[in-house]
């Protein structure tokens, strides 16, 4: 194979891979937009390359693939998913060069895509790992379906009833002012023993379910979460292993507390990252003031909006949900996190709830204007002040969802959080 043929083949594989990932994340409908820079800065530069050809009406397959691959890369960067590519993808028919050229010609020069408030979401990394795991269990290659019109309700975990939001009203329940709840959580965290030493290994076990990776359209199917065991080492090495959990009970609970993975259960997947992959000292080095904690969390996620408002609230709640699955957050930092949230916009309390393990928890809710179809709920232990889980609930119809609202989109429960 010549170098040109090899390069063309690589481009074809990469373009197919990007197409598939975009379909799986529900953003494949937005290819018509002009997008920020990567190798080719704008639609104008793409057009320039096309029109500079000696034979303008003949676009070589190699050039077409290169242009479309660059365009797809920019789309992935703008949606914060460029770091996470799946390894195996189905065959996908690539668009023709003519359709690419037509798309570019139709762009308005003033078209601008507003970027997400952060460049990445750790939640997607977990989703892709779980997706690979699901494929291993099934023994087949699984691509997340680009769902269209929602179908009749299928099997999703039962919704939980909250003190100020019954399951049937979760879509529109306003909740209450969270100030008192957040201060009580902060005081509980301050009463807890001190955090881990800088040399400790952080060990967190969660059990969770996601509509993106675990959904079965059969309404009679069993809801079986995935147990994920994570280790974060002082040098930044990270290790994660996933096993099949136990089916949920009829009320959506039944997740076991405090255990480690049973090596006899079905192994799904594992991943190891080298030293320096994660900032193991993120919370060790973090200031203990409210403003210091806020700035450190926003810096870590590279949030683009630092002023009080919806975007900043989204960044901070997303950080809390994601970091609690990897880190054992020191109690004094946790106290500042709760007091920080008391100063943020649109945080609401849903009151008390029995979580997926059956333990007592309090629920804090946030609905981001950028994704109004989802309601994010953070669950905390009122005795320790620590995060013990999260629920993401579909509250409005979405073309990217296979079910009708209200329905659980994903959840996780922390069953072990310790330092060694």
pLDDT, tens digit, for every residue of 171-212?
999 999 999 999 999 999 999 998 778 899 999 999 999 999
Q: In a 10 Å sphere around its CB, with 0-12 CB exposed, 13-18 middle and 19+ buried, how is residue 205 labelled?
A: buried
Q: Which residues have CB under 8 Å from 373's CB, separation 6+?
A: 394, 395, 396, 397, 398, 401, 405
Residue 262: which pLDDT band, with cuts at 50, 70 and 90?
low
Residue 31 or 348, more confident: 348
Chain mean pLDDT for the chain: 77
Give yes or no for a contact between 412 and 206, defined as CB atoms under 8 angstroms apart: yes
SS3 content of the chain, % helix, strand, coil (to 5): 30, 20, 50
Q: Which residues have CB under 8 Å from 381's CB, separation 6+?
A: 188, 359, 360, 361, 388
Residue 353 pLDDT > 80: yes
Note the pLDDT tens digit of each residue in 139-167: 332 233 333 333 334 589 999 999 999 99
Q: Count CB-CB contacts under 10 A for residue 169.
A: 13
Read off the DSSP letter of residue 395: -
Residue 48: which pLDDT band, with cuts at 50, 70 and 90?
low
- What residues does 216 pair with on adjacent strands? 155
Q: Count CB-CB contacts under 10 A for residue 287.
A: 13
Residue 333 pLDDT > 60: yes
Residue 258 pLDDT > 50: yes
SS3 of 352, please?
strand
Give yes or no for a contact between 155 and 250, defined as CB atoms under 8 angstroms apart: no
Query: Which range, of 44-53, 111-120, 327-336, averages the lowest pLDDT?
Result: 111-120
- What residues does 376 pair with on adjacent strands? 366, 392
Query: Which range, of 33-47, 184-198, 332-346, averages the lowest pLDDT?
Result: 33-47
- Mean pLDDT, range 247-262, rounded to an integer: 84
Residue 407 pLDDT > 80: yes
Which residue from 392, 390, 413, 379 is spatially nearest to 181, judged by alpha carbons?
379
Q: In a 10 Å sphere around its CB, with 0-12 CB exposed, 13-18 middle and 19+ buried, how is residue 149 labelled?
A: exposed
Cα→Cα distances 215→113, 154, 219, 363, 402, Å: 31, 9, 10, 25, 9
Residue 301 pLDDT > 50: yes
Give yes or no for a contact between 168 and 366, defined as CB atoms under 8 angstroms apart: no
Cα–Cα dist 339/335, whole Å: 6
- What percent of the chain is predicted at pLDDT more than 70? 62
- Alpha helix locations (H) across 139-249? 179-191, 211-214
Give yes or no for a contact between 143 and 24, defined as CB atoms under 8 angstroms apart: yes
- Tokens 């409908």, located at residue: 29
Rounded to 10 deg, the angle between the 61-78 and 97-106 helix axes is 50
Which residue from 192, 227, 224 is spatially nearest to 207, judged by alpha carbons?
227
Q: What is the pLDDT of residue 146?
A: 32
Q: What is the pLDDT of residue 132?
A: 40
List, edge to edge, every strand of the sheet that includes 238-244.
Answer: 267-273, 238-244, 226-232, 202-210, 407-419, 387-394, 374-380, 360-366, 348-354
Residue 298 pLDDT > 90: yes
Q: How far is residue 107 CA from its own chain's centroid?
A: 30
């Amino acid at each position: 194979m010549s170098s040109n043929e090899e390069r063309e083949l690589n481009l074809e594989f990469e373009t197919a891979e990007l197409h598939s990932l975009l379909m799986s994340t529900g953003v494949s409908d937005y290819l018509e937009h002009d997008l920020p820079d990567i190798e080719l800065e704008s639609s104008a530069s793409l057009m320039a390359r096309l029109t500079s050809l000696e034979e303008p009406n003949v676009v070589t397959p190699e050039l077409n693939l290169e242009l479309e691959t660059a365009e797809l890369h920019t789309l992935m960067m703008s949606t914060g998913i460029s770091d996470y590519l799946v390894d195996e993808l189905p065959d996908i028919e690539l668009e023709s060069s003519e359709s690419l050229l037509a798309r570019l010609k139709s762009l308005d020069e003033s078209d601008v895509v507003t970027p997400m408030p952060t460049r990445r979401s750790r939640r997607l990394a977990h989703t892709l790992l779980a997706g690979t795991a699901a494929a291993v269990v099934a023994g087949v290659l699984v691509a997340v379906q680009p769902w269209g019109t929602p179908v009749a309700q299928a099997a999703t975990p039962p919704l939980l009833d909250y003190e100020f939001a019954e399951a049937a009203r979760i879509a529109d329940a306003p909740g209450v002012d969270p100030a008192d709840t957040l201060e009580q959580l902060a005081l509980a965290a301050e009463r807890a023993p001190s955090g881990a030493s800088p040399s400790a290994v952080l060990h967190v076990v969660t059990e969770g379910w996601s509509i993106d990776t675990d959904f079965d359209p059969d309404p009679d199917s069993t809801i079986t979460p995935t147990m994920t065991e994570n280790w974060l080492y002082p040098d930044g090495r990270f290790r994660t292993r996933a096993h099949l959990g136990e089916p949920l009970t009829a009320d959506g609970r039944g997740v076991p507390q405090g255990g480690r993975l049973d090596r006899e259960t079905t192994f799904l997947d594992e991943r190891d990252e080298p030293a320096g992959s994660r900032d193991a000292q993120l919370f060790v080095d973090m200031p203990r003031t409210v403003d210091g904690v806020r700035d450190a969390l926003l810096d870590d996620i590279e949030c683009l909006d630092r002023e009080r408002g919806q975007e900043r609230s989204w960044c901070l709640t997303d950080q809390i949900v994601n970091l609690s699955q990897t880190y054992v957050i020191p109690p004094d930092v946790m106290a500042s996190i709760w007091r920080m949230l008391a100063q943020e916009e649109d945080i609401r309390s849903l009151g008390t709830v029995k979580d997926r393990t059956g333990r007592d928890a309090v629920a804090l809710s946030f609905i981001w204007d950028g994704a109004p179809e989802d309601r994010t709920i953070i669950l905390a232990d009122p005795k320790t002040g620590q995060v013990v889980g999260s629920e993401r609930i579909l509250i409005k119809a979405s073309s990217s969802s296979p079910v009708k609202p209200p329905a659980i989109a994903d959840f996780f429960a922390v069953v072990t959080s310790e330092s060694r």
